[in-house]
Chain A
């Protein structure tokens, strides 16, 4: 197994800043860093997930000026995404089928997504709310990252693409035993909920009373959708300016009451239980039906930050009964 001293890794990372855009945890969100000293890890998972790198909260689609000339804004620089967790990496892999399709690729997402190196860091101490193992994943899952690192006090032990490990200067070392030990203990801490037959179970729910029971306390605040690494609903807004204007794409939430409000005033999802049903069906029924992957990665942010402690794990368990 290859390893590297942390100072050496960060020094190489600093060298690459400039040629690459480097994103890393900065407190409560993933942001662009100018130097490795900008990296700030406050909690295991950043509040705002890595989806904001590829699907920013406010993205300018194009702008126009008084002469009606339209300029489309995309970014073409190479990117390194460092310091995210394996669940964040799985989430990006889950977003790809929606935005990076063959027939209708999303120009903006695609321009950020291609030429991106994902270096994720495994979770030595998963949170109580983590349940990533329910999705064929785990705290040291490397299937969706270019390189997965295990962090100890002085070094990074890495697995993954050889050319990237060589780029940073990883060298052969005796990290395998330590890696396996931490991996085992971390995997034991993660809760695994059973998802077998969940699609069929959801298909068989005939009326909304099940969803009404569980969604009574949901206040439809939208915090879960904004922090969720796989939620991607958006709203388009045209902004007028003195010398022209621009069209932007902003995050939206299916949990907002007016999300499905139509121009006529009709709102097909006016009641809370219908919005909760939509959220659960989308993540565990519609998405796997379309793309063979769940719309949830088990990061647990929604459980941790929900003001009224709506727990999707309990909802899934209840469905099993």
Chain B
């Protein structure tokens, strides 16, 4: 029996906006695919681009980073710095041949439960379409 591909997607959500938005989506009983594994971070500015590379290195099929809208950052300017880093790491990964759908970003505020579930659906669909990650994955098992 052919088993449907169930991607593993790491979702880095900033504590003050996107994580609260995800919470609201849950409380409002909004449906979205169960493939996202949430990692709560204080601010999108906390994202070291190496977390994204490391996620692909561990074999995750997708990475989704979400923060507050520009101007609304709880720490004033964190997401502005993050925006520059995101643009550069996304371009670099796409340049070396990693599918551009693997690493995605969004701004989701605490009141946007609906947007959160929408983006979760879109990201999951994108990753399902491009299939499991096959590049830059470290050895998983010692007895292969």
Residues of A within 8 A of B (CB): 63, 65, 241-246
Contacts and interface: CB of A to CB of B under 8 A. Distances in A.
Given A63-B142, A244-B143, 15 more contacts: A63-B143, A65-B142, A65-B143, A241-B139, A241-B140, A241-B141, A241-B142, A242-B140, A242-B141, A243-B141, A243-B142, A243-B143, A244-B142, A245-B142, A246-B142
A63 B143 CA distance: 9
A241 B140 CA distance: 6
Contacts of B140: 241-242
Q: For the complex, would chain B's binding face be called helix, strand, loop or mixed by DSSP majority? A: loop
Q: Which of B140, B141, B142, B143 has the most CB of A within 10 A?
A: B142
- Give the 9 A-B CB pairs with smallest separation, nearest first: A241-B142, A244-B142, A243-B141, A63-B142, A246-B142, A242-B140, A242-B141, A241-B141, A243-B142
Contacts of A243: 141-143
B59 to A, nearest CB: 10
Nearest to B141: A243
Nearest to A241: B142
A65 B143 CA distance: 8
A147 to B, nearest CB: 38
Interface string B123-141: 0000000000000000111
Interface residues of B, number: 5
Nearest to A60: B142
Contacts of A242: 140-141
Contacts of A241: 139-142
Nearest to A64: B142
Contacts of A65: 142-143
Contacts of B141: 241-243
Contacts of B143: 63, 65, 243-244
A246 B139 CA distance: 11
A244 B140 CA distance: 10
A15 to B, nearest CB: 32
A245 B141 CA distance: 8
Contacts of A63: 142-143
A246 B141 CA distance: 10
A118 to B, nearest CB: 33
B60 to A, nearest CB: 14
Q: Which of B140, B141, B143 has the most CB of A within 10 A?
A: B143
A248 to B, nearest CB: 11
Contacts of A246: 142
A87 B142 CA distance: 37
14 contacts: A63-B143, A65-B142, A65-B143, A241-B139, A241-B140, A241-B141, A241-B142, A242-B140, A242-B141, A243-B141, A243-B142, A243-B143, A244-B142, A246-B142
Contacts of A244: 142-143
Nearest to A244: B142
Nearest to A245: B142
A69 to B, nearest CB: 11
Interface string B37-75: 000000000000000000000000000000000000000
B128 to A, nearest CB: 24
A63 B144 CA distance: 12
A60 to B, nearest CB: 9
Interface in B91-144: 139-143
Nearest to A246: B142
A249 to B, nearest CB: 16
A245 B138 CA distance: 13
